[in-house]
Amino acid sequence: MATLSSPRPLVTTPRPVRAPSVWLAAATGIALSALYAAVSLRRHALLRSTGFDLGIFEQEVRSYASGHWPTSTLKGPGFPLLGDHFSPITAVLAPAYRLFPGPGTLLVAQALLLGLAAVPLTLWAHRLAGARAGLVVGLGFGLSWGIAQAVIFDFHEVAFAVPLLAFSLSALGAGRLRAAIAWAAPLVLVKEDLGLTVAVVGMLVAWRGERRFGLAAAVGGVAATLVEMFVVIPAISPAGADTYAGHLGAAAVWRLPTLLTNGTKLATLVLVLLPTGFLALRSPLLWVAVPTLAWRLLSDYPAYWGTSYHYSAVLMPVVVAALVDVLARGAVGSTARRWGLALGVVATGACLLAPPPALSSGLLDVVRPGFWATTDHVALGRAVLDRIPAGATVAASNGLAPQLTARDDVSLLGGTPLTVSRPDYVVADTAAAQQFPVGGQELRELALGGRELGYRVVVDEDGYLLLAAPGR
């Protein structure tokens, strides 16, 4: 990784912003947003979305839209979500949700946010090296595996962080130091750990010359993370503590050697840098990725180590911005520049066409004919869900929960016991791929256990179970 010993100008001779640059950047962002929306909405229509986490976030935004503090019955009865993760930024979706209530609003919002992130990166590269470089950088970012994985795993608050980081680092790379801080500052409202990312941006700004402003941002970022993790979240959480912080602890320092010995962690580090042809290592901007990589790879929770889920989305704008920064500073020759861009495209394509084992699908689903076909199992599932009236209380399995959260009060079957939730209906898909916290035969037995409470079986077909409470 590049050192911070010699602050050279991050831009040599920037070209003026011209209409073709803006149009190329805008077109790239719009095309990517359309792709993301098509994939995520279709996955939801195929019952591939999940209560953990799309259903939880819909319950959060639905709370804000109703004028209430965010809670989620999928996490537990009346569970206060600001005591889980500090992500008040999701409240900005409340007006759109009031107009268009449903999980589709969240999925489209995420698609627009992720597509927007490509705009500053494309524009920056176009100004430096022309339209071809701008297009390669924009698409290299937009089709990178970290973004693809976020798209196919429902909605998450980090969708807000991706464009904020892209705009911040593009401004930093172009020498607009105060703008870089302005774009980074809202990250403290996205998630509690991102204050440390703001701190690194602040240190880079201070290194570039805006010392007081940069150091103030660095101190503010660290303070925000400490207050959110050790004051705000514990005060709101039913557990009285930040349960996610417990995955680090004092033992984290002893896990440092595992960065070189653990195959999963090594693979993640390689794949993060692969879309840039490893040229990102030559940019100081790559330091912005360190806080996220540190808490993930030093955690005792294996799910954080690999390439699954949405955890790598915030790393993609960082490494791509680092690549553009290397090109902007002339840190590589013209031949290396061309090879770096080419490697980025090839590496990104390789990750999409032959994804890591942890990735079950990707953006290429959109061109697979089977993706647009509705199976008999999915059609039956929709018919079963239609038998549940709006306004009911429902205990649903993970794969069916987000189909109901817009109109019903939904708890997680296998999470909150039926003896506690006492829902009007119990519904499960025991054949679904998304099984959490239990699945298969265990899920079936759990649902049928409602009969001991007086529930009657309404549907038992092709893996679907629907039970109704007495009087329903």
The CATH number of whichever domain residue 423 belongs to comes to 3.40.50
**What pairing do the DSSP bridges indicate for beta strands 409-412 and 393-396?**
parallel
Provide the pLDDT for residue 130: 80
The number of distinct structural domains making up the chain is: 2
Provide the pLDDT for residue 365: 85
Alpha helices in 373-439 (DSSP H): 376-385, 418-421
| CA dist 249 → 293, 306, 430 (Å) | 16, 20, 37
Looking at the structure, tell me whether residues 350 and 425 fall in a common domain.
no
Looking at the structure, tell me whether residues 454 and 325 fall in a common domain.
no
CB 355 within 8 A of CB 152: no
Looking at the structure, tell me whether residues 128 and 89 fall in a common domain.
yes
**What pairing do the DSSP bridges indicate for beta strands 425-429 and 409-412?**
unpaired
Looking at the structure, tell me whether residues 316 and 428 fall in a common domain.
no
Looking at the structure, tell me whether residues 353 and 394 fall in a common domain.
no
| 13 part of a folded domain | no
CB 455 within 8 A of CB 426: yes
**Positive or negative, the Cα torsion across 271, 273, 274, 278?**
negative
| 199 part of a folded domain | no
Q: What is the spatial distance between Cα 442 and Cα 254, in angstroms, rounded to a whole number?
A: 38
Looking at the structure, tell me whether residues 361 and 411 fall in a common domain.
no
Q: What is the DSSP letter of 302?
A: G
- Domain finish residue from 366, 395, 411: 366
| 402 part of a folded domain | yes
Helix, strand, or coil (residue 256): coil
Looking at the structure, tell me whether residues 318 and 410 fall in a common domain.
no
- Domain finish residue from 301, 336, 366: 366
AA identity, residue 426: V
Q: Which two tokens stand for residue 162?
A: 């991706």
- What DSSP letter does each residue of 311-323 carry, written as one string? TTTTHHHHHHHHH
Provide the pLDDT for residue 32: 96
Question: What's the CA angle centered on 32, arms 184 and 280, to 5 degrees?
Answer: 50
Calculate the CA dihedral of residues 405, 472, 422, 416 and round it to 10 degrees: -40
Q: Which two tokens stand for residue 252?
A: 């984290």
Looking at the structure, tell me whether residues 462 and 349 fall in a common domain.
no
Region for 123 from its dihedrals, namely left if φ exceeds 0, alpha if ψ lies in -120 to 50, beta otherwise: alpha
Q: Is 19 exposed, middle or buried (0-12, 13-18, 19+ CB in 10 A)?
A: exposed
Peptide bond before 257: cis, by omega within 30 degrees of 0?
no
Q: What is the spatial distance between Cα 242 and Cα 257, in angstroms, rounded to a whole number?
A: 26
Looking at the structure, tell me whether residues 360 and 404 fall in a common domain.
no
Note down pLDDT in tens along the chain; length 472 residues.
Answer: 655 544 544 444 455 555 667 889 999 999 999 999 999 999 999 999 999 999 999 999 999 999 999 999 999 999 999 999 999 999 999 999 999 999 999 999 999 999 999 999 999 988 887 888 888 889 889 988 899 999 999 999 999 999 999 999 999 999 999 999 999 999 999 999 999 999 999 999 999 989 999 999 999 999 999 999 999 999 999 999 888 876 666 566 667 777 778 888 998 998 898 878 788 899 999 999 999 999 999 888 888 888 888 999 999 999 999 989 988 877 666 666 666 666 665 566 555 554 554 444 578 888 888 899 999 999 999 999 999 999 999 999 999 999 999 999 999 999 999 999 999 999 999 998 768 898 889 999 999 999 999 999 999 999 999 999 998 8
Domain with 464, as residue range(s), is 376-468
Looking at the structure, tell me whether residues 108 and 128 fall in a common domain.
yes
| 429 part of a folded domain | yes
| 110 part of a folded domain | yes
**Phi (first) and psi of residue 431, to 5 degrees:** -100, 0
Helix, strand, or coil (residue 88): helix
| 450 part of a folded domain | yes
| 175 part of a folded domain | yes
- Domain finish residue from 323, 339, 366: 366
Residues in the chain: 472
Looking at the structure, tell me whether residues 384 and 420 fall in a common domain.
yes
| 126 part of a folded domain | yes
Provide the pLDDT for residue 21: 77
Q: What is the spatial distance between Cα 69 and Cα 84, in angstroms, rounded to a whole number?
A: 13
Looking at the structure, tell me whether residues 316 and 438 fall in a common domain.
no
Q: Which two tokens stand for residue 293?
A: 């990589």
